[in-house]
Amino acid sequence: MFEFAALTYGLLASIVLTAAQRNRKLARPHPPMLLYVGYMLCGLSIGSAMVLSYIAIVAAAG
């Protein structure tokens, strides 16, 4: 299950970053769906970083 989530996350991140780079190069505005997916990936990254940090702190404390 983790492998599927990691593959999906990586694929979405690659698509979002490639599309954003292409839009910037062509001086076009980003479509709303691209922004929504980008913000969702950003929130998912921050949330997982917080959870993993909490796990590390609890494991180190005892």
Can you list the pairs that 38-47 forms with residues at least 24 positions away whose Cβ atoms lie under 8 Å?
Answer: 41/9, 41/12, 41/13, 41/16, 44/9
Predicted local distance difference test score (pLDDT) of residue 53: 97
Predicted local distance difference test score (pLDDT) of residue 62: 81
Task: Kindly tell me if the per-residue pLDDT of 2 is higher than 90.
Answer: no
Task: Kindly tell me if the per-residue pLDDT of 1 is higher than 90.
Answer: no
pTM: 0.80
pLDDT tens sequence across 8-60: 999 999 999 999 999 999 999 999 999 999 999 999 999 999 999 999 999 99
What ranges do the domains of the chain cover? 2-61
- What span, in angstroms and rounded, lies between the C-alpha atoms of 47 and 29? 28
